[in-house]
Amino acid sequence: MSINPAFMRRLIVIFALATLVLTALAAPAQTVQLSVDTSKTGAKIDRNIFGQFAEHLGHGVYEGIWVGPDSKIPNTRGIRNDVVAALKAIKVPNVRWPGGCFADGYHWRDGIGSADKRVVRLNPDWGGVIEPNTFGTHEFMDFIDQIGSQAYVSVNVGSGTPHEAADWLEYMTAAQPTTLQKERAANGHPAPYKVSFLGVGNESWDCGGNMSPDYYLSHYKDYSHFVRNYNPAQEHGKDQMLQFAVGPGGDGQRWEEWTDTVMKGYQHHSWSWDLNGLSLHNYTVGDWVNKFPSTGFGETEYAKVLKITLEMDGLINRHSAIMDKYDPEKKIALVVDEWGGWYAPLPGSNPGFLVQQNSLRDAVLAALNLNIFARHADRVRGANIAQMINVLQAMILTDKEKMVLTPTYYVFKMYVPFQDATFVPVTFDAGKYVHGDVTLPRVDAIAAKDTNGKLWLAITNLDPNQSVDIDASLAGITAKSASGQILTAPKVDSINTFDAGNTVVPKAITAKVQGGKVTLNLAPKSVTVVSVEQ
C-alpha cells in the first residue's frame, strides 16, 4: 500500500499539534513559592527609569506628536490631544529629545521663531526626508508641559560646539534680561524653561562623531563646564539639572574601556565640571542584518528574543562593577537611555523610519527590562525606552487621525505604582521554561512599597504554554486582599491594530488570600501587577 507523502506530512503535523494541546491541558499549573519580607527594603526605584525617547525619526515626532495647529486632528497648539491624554495616563517622568543620532546634527536655532521662517533641512540619519523644524524648542517644551513630564535635552557634540549648546541652554533657562532671554520672550515664553537632564552628545563612539573615549572625555569636560542652566528654580537642591555623559553601547572590551575612561576621568574631576550619569544603550536585536520580525512569529522567536533581553542584567552588572571602582557610593547613575526591541522594518515601510509592530512579546520584554532596572535601583536611576511613538518599541502607534495603544504601553501603565517606590527584595525559585535550545526562567518578579507604603508585586510568567500558581508569603504585613491587572493575549505575537485595538489589554485579577498568603494563578505569557491591602 502506498501512502501519499503530503497526507503523511499533514498527519504528522496534526499529531504534533494534538500532543502539544493535550500536554498543555493535562499539565497541572506549576507552583512557585515567593517570599517577600517587607521589613527589608532596598533602594528607591527612580521614576525616571520609566522615561521615554522621542527622536526626529520617521513619524515619531511629526504625525506622532506634532500635527500642526491647522490639522483636522484635534490638537492643542499643534500637539495631538489623543496622544497627550494617553501619555498623561502613564505619568511619563521625562522625555529625551531631539535624538538619538539626530541630536548630533541638530542646530537649535533652526527650530525657533515664526513657523514660516524655520530652517528646512534634510534628516540624513533617518531616511533623508525633509526636516521642517516646525517642532522645535518651544513646541517640545509645550509638549512636555501638556503631558506633565520633564525635559531631557541632548545637545549636539558631533557637529556642534560648546558655544552653541551654551547659547541653547541660556536661551531656554535664563531668567534675567539677556539677549537670549529676550529672544525667547519675544518668541512667546518669557518665563525660563526647566531642563532637568542634559545629555552631552549621543553615541559619540559612532553616529555622534566616532570619537575615542579620551577624545570624548575632553569634549565632555568643556560641555559640562560651559553649558549652564540659569533657571533660578534649578540652581540648587533637587531640581538641579543633571548632566549625563555618553556611555557604552554594549558588552566587551571596547565598551568596558569606554566606561573605564569616563569614570576614571570623573575620579579626577575638579570644581569646574561634573558628571551625574553615564548613559548605556542596549537594544534587544540579535542579528543586526537579519532582524527578528515584529509580527507573524512563533514560540522560537519569542523565546530567543526574551533570552537576548535578559542579557541586560549582565551588561548592567559589568558596567556597574567598573563604575563601582571609581564611584563606590554610586553617586553617578547608570542611565539606560535607549533600550527596547529593535526588529525588521514592517514590509512596505521606509526602512529609515524604523517602523515595527508591538506584540505581547514586547509587553513581556518590557516587564523583564523594568524588573532588571528595579533590581539595580541603586545604580540605574534613569532609562528611556526607544521610542515613544511610531518608532521601534513604541507606546503608541498613529495613522493620520487613528491611534492605538500597544502592549508595551499597558505595561508602563500597570507599572506606574513602581515610580519612586521602594524596592522590596523577593526570593523565589524561578523554575525553567525550555524551548529548543533556549532555557529561560519560568517566572520573574519584583516587589516594592509605593510612596504611601502600599505593597505592589509585579510578576511575569514567561512560559507561553503553562500557567503558574504563585504562592506568596509576605512577612511583615498581614494581607487581607490583593488585586490588580493581568496582561496576556491568545498568542505570543498578538498585537493591537487600528481596527482591533483591544486584543492585548489588561484585565482585572484578584488573588486568593488565606492566612496572610497570597495565591494567584497567572496565565501563560502574561504580566501581572497586584497591590496588597492589609
Would you tell me which residues interact with ligand AHR (CB under 6 A)? 55, 99-101, 202-203, 338, 386-387, 392
Query: Shortest CA distance to 384 belongs to which of 27, 112, 97, 180?
Result: 97
Nearer to ligand AHR, 389 or 468 (CB): 389
* 144 close to 151: Cβ distance less than 8 angstroms: yes
Q: Is 203 among the catalytic positions? A: yes
Question: CA-to-CA distance for 206 and 7, rounded, in angstroms?
Answer: 54
Give the nearest distance from C-beta 288 to ligand AHR in angstroms: 11
Give the nearest distance from C-beta 68 to ligand AHR in angstroms: 24
Q: Which one from 63, 131, 139, 203 is the annotated catalytic residue?
A: 203
107: amino acid identity, one letter: H
Q: Which one from 55, 131, 170, 338 is the annotated catalytic residue?
A: 338
* 202 close to 125: Cβ distance less than 8 angstroms: no
Give the nearest distance from C-beta 369 to ligand AHR in angstroms: 15
Nearer to ligand AHR, 59 or 525 (CB): 59
* 294 close to 350: Cβ distance less than 8 angstroms: no
* Closest residue by beta carbon to ligand AHR: 100
* 69 close to 78: Cβ distance less than 8 angstroms: yes
Question: CA-to-CA distance for 427 and 66, rounded, in angstroms?
Answer: 45
Backbone angles phi, psi at 25, to 5 degrees: -70, -40
Query: Shortest CA distance to 137 belongs to which of 106, 100, 94?
Result: 106
Question: CA-to-CA distance for 483 and 417, rounded, in angstroms?
Answer: 13
* 457 close to 36: Cβ distance less than 8 angstroms: yes
Grid cell at residue 134: 516646525
Give the nearest distance from C-beta 301 to ligand AHR in angstroms: 21
Q: What is the DSSP letter of 522?
A: E
Handedness of CA 62, 63, 66, 68 (dihedral sign): positive
Grid cell at residue 160: 556642534
Give the nearest distance from C-beta 215 to ligand AHR in angstroms: 18
| Strand runs labelled E in 360-431 | 380-386, 396-399, 402-405, 422-424, 426-428
Give the nearest distance from C-beta 101 to ligand AHR in angstroms: 4
**Parallel, antiparallel, or unpaired for β 396-399 and 402-405?**
antiparallel
Handedness of CA 188, 192, 196, 200 (dihedral sign): positive
**Burial class for 179, CB neighbours closer than 10 Å (0-12, 13-18, 19+):** exposed
Give the nearest distance from C-beta 511 to ligand AHR in angstroms: 38
Nearer to ligand AHR, 154 or 467 (CB): 154
Nearer to ligand AHR, 248 or 464 (CB): 248
Question: CA-to-CA distance for 191 and 410, rounded, in angstroms?
Answer: 35
Nearer to ligand AHR, 203 or 444 (CB): 203
Q: Is 311 among the catalytic positions? A: no
Nearer to ligand AHR, 387 or 422 (CB): 387
**Parallel, antiparallel, or unpaired for β 396-399 and 197-200?**
unpaired
For cell 527589608, name the residue: 40
Give the nearest distance from C-beta 497 to ligand AHR in angstroms: 23
Active site residues: 203, 338
